[in-house]
Structure 1
Amino acid sequence: MKEHAHTCQEQLKQLQTEFDEFAYIVSHDLKAPLRAISNLSGWIKEDLGEALEPDIAHNIHLLQNRTERMERMISALLSFSRVGRQDLEVREVAVQEMIEKIAAPFQEKSGLKVHLSQLPTLTTYCRKLETVFCHLLQNAVQFNEQETPEVWISAKQLPTHFLFSVRDNGIGIPADSLGKIFKMFYTVQPKDRQESLGAGLTIVHKIVRFAGGTIEAKSDLNQGTEMLFTWPLSLTA
């Protein structure tokens, strides 16, 4: 029984590796024709010049926007496929200093207020943990209609993991969407009404799982969102 379980586990790892390689190759090869479409539409617009009719200009604008969005989606797929292969540097991380650095651009641009408490120093995948907090802070600002967006970040030490909490005062998530937010390209609002691709939380979920943790969301509509994720005390925890 143990031998069979081990074989299944190895097969699962192999399938995951093959999927990641497939996603990388497909995503990489799709970028070139998309750039060509974007360039061609721009040249058509330039060639027509003043003869460009309003409805044609509108359609070209839509084409360029859709192409740009598709390129961003491909980049997100590439990031997703690379989770297990890049940013594997391990070093000591002072989480409070890390978050202060990540938050600075958001504070300057949107006036974000960040409240930090009980944050540890640990030895781990520094860039991966940084990516997790970057995506969570970005969501806290992007999906926020308050005059002053705020985020509260804390950590609690468990026997083998830290439990991190990232709570905001944003617009919240409807109950019927909570089970879907970690799916690739899922967005609560219609895609033509927002800039978000719906990829950030999917990447966060994969990173946390790769590191050996778990993640969940708690939220009520118009009452903010709390993201709770565990992260190993050490890479062997």
Structure 2
Amino acid sequence: MAKNNEPSAPIQYRSTGRPPRYLIVLLILAALWAGFWGVIHLQSGEPEAVTLDVEEQAELEAKLQALGPRDAEPRPDQAPADPIIDLDAEAEPLVPELYEERAEARSVRFSERELNALIAQDPDLAGRVAMRLTPGQVSTRVRIDVPADIPLLGGRVLNVRSGVRFETEDGRVHARLVGVSVAGIPLPDAWLGGLKDEDLLALEPFQQLRAGIESIEVRDGELVLELAR
């Protein structure tokens, strides 16, 4: 019997106008995961605000003042009745003073409670940023409002956590990024621009900041800052 050498007609698939079943299943699983993710991670409560009492607030203000310009004691031979008065200025009369620097004034200590209280006093950061101090590391938690036009996550609050490890080697301060997580999911180093384990203070915007710091020591609930000369 002769064989039919004519090419067979291509198989035609009829479209039902509906998406494949596997695509529907994937969409359902994605929706369930997005809902679970949002309930567990995205809607967690805001960081608890820290409020200092009168004594703690006074101590914190004294530490902040130590970081700024310090008024020296007037000269003993300067009569209090000899101020330099600027008639056009509304400020207090200027009295000649002796400038001096004390070595102990370069060392400043902040407790975790004090740092979080400072954050709570800032209207833009209150309830959105919290800090944790553990030996050698500063960890932060930031709550970010997701724009409403973002699919799935729009209008929600996103929790972003990060950690930075501080150490002093060879007379230089180093701040190395431990990692960043969004809603509890660690971000790959490639998404962070390859900054994991990199010294953040070596970046150009922070080099001058590092030049002014002799050492940083992070303890459990305390940060010790030693300013350079």
TM-score range, shorter chain: under 0.3
Q: Which has the larger radius of gyration?
A: 2
In terms of fraction of residues, the more strand-rich structure is: 2
The alignment's TM-score, normalised by the length of structure 2, stands at 0.28
